[in-house]
Structures are given as C-alpha cells and as structure tokens.
Amino acid sequence: MTTIQGPAIFLAQFLGDQPPFDNLESICRWAKSIGFEGVQIPTWATNYFDLQKAAESKTYADEIKGMVESQGLRITELSTHLQGQLVAVNPAYDKLFDGFAPEAYHNNPKARTEWAVQQLKYAAKASQNLGLTAHATFSGSLLWHTVYPWPQRPAGLVDAGFKELADRWLPILNAFDEAGVDVCYEIHPGEDLHDGITYEMFLEKVNNHARACLLYDPSHFVLQCLDYLAYIDHYHERIRMFHVKDAEFNPSGKQGVYGGYQNWVNRAGRFRSLGDGQVDFKSVFSKLTTYDFKGWAVMEWECALKHPEDGAREGAAFIKDHIIRVTEKAFDDFAASGIDESLNKEILGLK
C-alpha cells in the first residue's frame, strides 16, 4: 500500500485579479501558507500559465516547476477541463460554450473543436515536460441533451454518439500515450462520461485504451444517488486522480435530482465545503488506500454557502487529517511464530 499524497488544491476556483490570487507565484505562496503541499494548475488562464509555451519549451516548463517548488509546493497535475469540454459540443450548446474558447473561435464550431484538440495535445507535452504522469479533463458531450429518453431516442443514436466521441479522443489519447501521461476524465453531469456505464461505453469504443483513465470525485455521485464507494471497487484500476469535494442531497416533496431549475443555494443537491456535506470521506480514503492509489488528494472547492478562503483553509486540514499513513507491518506481528516448513507440514497433516 501507498500513503496518498497531499493535501493539494485545484487553483481554478481561486484565480482572481487581486493579490494573492492574481498570479501563479503569489497564489502558490498563499496555498502553502494555509497548509497545502501541491497545486493542480488550470491551463486556460494564460496569464498564470502558458500551456503552448510549456509544451514547446522545456526551459519554460522548468522555470514554472522551479517557481512552484520555491514556494514549497509541487505541481500535482495540469487541467484542461474547459478545453476538454470543447472537444465535443452538441450544437444546442454552441452559444453557451463559446466562452470557453478565445474569441477568434466563437461562432465557428469546427475551428473551436480543432483548437480544443490542439490544446489537449499541448497539455500532453507540457505534462511530460513538467514530469507529470496524470492529467485532468472533461470528455465533452454530443448526447447530453438526450440524457432523459423523452422524446424517445432513435435506435442507434447512443452508439453513434459514443463512436464519434471516441474518434475525436483517440488521437488525443495516443498523444498522451507518447508523452507517458494518463488522461483522467472527471465523470461529471453534462459530459457524455457521467457515470460508470457511460465510461465503460466510451472505453469499449477506444479499445480499452490504457491512457483512458479516471478522475474520482465522489461529490458528483452523491448528486446522482450513485454508490460512490462501490464505484471505487469497480474502477480502482483506472482511478489515477482524486478530487476531494463534498456534497449533499436533500430531496423534498417539491424537487429531487433535477433541481427544479434552481440556483445552487436552493437545489436539493448542492456542493459543500469539505466536512459540511454527506460524503463519507473516511471510507473513501480507506478504500483508495486499500487499492494502493498512488496519486494526490486534491481539494476542489465549490460551495454556495461558505467563503472560499475559509473553505480552503479548513480543506487543507481536513485532507491532512484523512490521509492514512500506511503501516509497514501487520498489527499482530508480535505474535508471529516465524517460518518453519516442517511445522507447517505437520499442522497440515503432511507428515
């Protein structure tokens, strides 16, 4: 077994235009000051991190890595959640998702997709240059608008959608394979990969590609009423990343999973700061440790109630308290009788 690394923090929700959140060096200094040991870096905010430059210049990548390490931190992974979303967008969502791409690609879905694919390929090389082994992203979606089968889905629609999704991702997965980096899909509502079944459907279409791995985030499963502990049993061999994020689901006589078009504060299912929700993190950390998860425990803060700086400070301590330092010996070693092959045979009645 391996002791999970951490605590680390996903920086995406903390980026801003005021100190200490306005540049990578100062936000790293802040993260270290409240107890974090690693940072997961979003790659769409180019004033913090230049993804293309990190892919094309080992010198730049080394400078970024050195700067982060000078603050007493390590880079855990890079993230292309926004770019990954744009690998596959149903036309129904074109206007909503155009904002994830530079303005030059707005109102041009084909060019936007080409840009997103190139971004992922840059991420593969940038991760390699930084010495990373896993990468966080979304799958995108062609089918989400049909998630509820009304009107009835035409025969073959789902198969065709997953085939197209796989065709778009295979060249990207191959680029990551060449770089020696796992692609870790965050299984998430709004993505075609939103639960175990959809992940398996995708995996089949990409020929069980070794790099098509998982980012485990139990909060999304609480909101789907999915057994997030059994999920680990099913997919632990593919889990390469871990977002530590809490959630709660409190259905009423007026709303349930779909949320009644309410904002996050008023939804039956909502994300919470660590320790304020319903996720059984003691069991989560125990299962991941049992299955020898070797990655980082990365806090992702998303809470409609608590101030983010309070959530971050409390989250660092929460993760630290949940990481299990693995034992190097069995608890009953004191009673061991040693190795005696003759005695073993005698106990078994073999002599």
Asked whether the predicted pLDDT for residue 205 surpasses 80, the reply is yes
> Mean pLDDT over all residues of the chain?
96
Residue numbers of the domain that contains 268? 5-347
pTM > 0.85: yes or no: yes
Q: How high is the pLDDT of residue 46?
A: 95
Q: Which pLDDT band holds residue 90 (cuts at 50, 70, 90)? A: very high
| Token representation of residue 94 | 């074109």
Which parts of the chain fold into alpha helices (H)?
A: 24-33, 51-56, 58-70, 81-85, 94-97, 109-130, 157-179, 196-205, 219-222, 228-235, 281-290, 308-322, 341-347
Q: Number of folded domains in the chain? A: 1
How far apart, in Å, do the first and last CA atoms of the chain sit? 37
CATH of residue 129's domain is 3.20.20.150
- Over residues 310-336, the mean pLDDT reads 90
